[in-house]
């Protein structure tokens, strides 16, 4: 595969992932977050398995003997629960930006979990990111905005970003032993299973109209399965440095789609905060 074609798959994966945030926002209008998570990952896991075996890939069952895989599955579950509940209160475009802050937290957490070095540029990136977050979540008005629904949503999504960073750091050694798709199938499958006990305490909300059904299918097929396959194809043939631009593209595409289809808008202070966050992400990506 040529590098140009590989980068095309990276851009395509970024586009697919960017649609997940507006799709979740739409779906939350019809489904409870926990039921939504269950339907997405239950459907997505079966589609993932079908595609996996259709491509004649071999599944290493020894992954189930790894105790850490169950801890990682809990982290995935918690991250999505926090993201979905947070997104009930905040915008899809803001969610995409805040979630991707995990890129900053990963090397910072790795310093303490994996004893990896924290550089000056990472420190600068974190400072820029936090400054951008302050502008983004407060809109420059601390007193009023701290009591708003969007502020609450942003903070919940921010915690989801930290949770995802823990998942990335703790899963680093297992990803050296197992195929990333095996990893995803197991963690996504357990994410669906972990939601089941909570569903007994929540009124049943089934996808009863065309929109909610299409949203679940879209998230399960395109955002949970195909996007990962396209991204790993691009990563294999284009390299990690060039494919890392997908993060910035994902945020940009989400902003554009949310503006076009959800009428989401940002004021100048929010845009300034968003730009600072993107600059901080780029700093980390350049170093990595």
Per cent of the chain over pLDDT 70 is 84
CA 98/CA 250 separation, integer angstroms: 12
Q: Are 118 and 111 in contact (CB under 8 A)?
A: yes
Q: Looking up tokens 């390299």, which residue turns up?
A: 239
CA-closest candidate to residue 16, choices 188, 230, 285, 244: 230
Tens digit of each residue's pLDDT (9 = 90 or more) over 136-147: 766 666 655 566
CA 196/CA 16 separation, integer angstroms: 27
Residues 6+ apart with CB under 8 A from 241: 285, 288
Q: Which domain holds residue 169?
A: 3-287
- Asked if residue 86 has pLDDT above 90, the reply is yes
Per cent of the chain over pLDDT 90 is 35
Total domains in the chain come to 1
- The reported pLDDT for the residue numbered 48 is 93
Q: Please give, one letter per residue, the 3-state secondary structure of 158-227.
A: HHHHHHHHHHHHHCCCHHHCCCHHHHHHHHHHHHHHHHHHHHCCCCCCCCCCHHHHHHHHHHHHHHHHHH
Work out the angle between the directed axes of helices 3-27 and 210-218 (0-180°, nearest 10).
Answer: 150
pTM of the model as a whole: 0.86
- Asked if residue 130 has pLDDT above 90, the reply is no
Q: Are 38 and 199 in contact (CB under 8 A)?
A: yes
- Asked if residue 214 has pLDDT above 90, the reply is yes
Largest CA distance in the chain: 57
* Range with top average pLDDT, 114-118, 190-194, 236-240, 250-254: 190-194
- The reported pLDDT for the residue numbered 46 is 94
């Amino acid at each position: 595969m040529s590098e140009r074609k590989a980068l095309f798959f990276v851009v395509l994966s970024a586009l697919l992932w960017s649609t997940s945030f507006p799709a979740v926002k739409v779906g939350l209008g019809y489904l409870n977050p926990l039921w939504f998570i269950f339907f997405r990952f239950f459907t997505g896991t079966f589609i993932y398995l079908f595609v996996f075996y259709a491509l004649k890939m071999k599944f290493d069952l020894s992954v189930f003997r790894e105790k850490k895989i169950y801890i990682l599955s809990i982290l995935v579950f918690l991250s999505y629960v926090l993201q979905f509940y947070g997104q009930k209160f905040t915008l899809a475009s803001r969610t995409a930006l805040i979630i991707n802050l995990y890129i900053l937290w990963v090397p910072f957490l790795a310093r303490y979990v994996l004893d990896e070095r924290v550089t000056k540029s990472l420190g600068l990136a974190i400072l820029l990111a936090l400054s951008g977050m302050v502008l983004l979540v407060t809109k420059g008005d601390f007193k009023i905005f701290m009591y708003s629904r969007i502020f609450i949503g942003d903070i919940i999504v921010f915690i989801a970003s930290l949770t995802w960073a823990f998942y990335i750091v703790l899963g680093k050694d297992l990803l050296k032993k197992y195929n990333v798709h095996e990893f995803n199938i197991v963690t996504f499958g357990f994410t669906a299973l972990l939601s089941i006990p909570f569903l007994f305490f929540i009124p049943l909300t089934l996808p009863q109209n065309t929109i909610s059904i299409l949203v679940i299918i879209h998230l399960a097929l395109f955002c949970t399965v195909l996007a990962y396959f396209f991204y790993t194809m691009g990563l294999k043939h284009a390299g990690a440095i060039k494919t890392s631009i997908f993060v910035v593209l994902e945020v940009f595409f989400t902003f554009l789609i949310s503006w076009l289809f959800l009428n989401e808008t940002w004021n100048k202070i929010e845009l300034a905060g968003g730009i600072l966050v993107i600059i901080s992400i780029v700093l980390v990506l350049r170093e990595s």
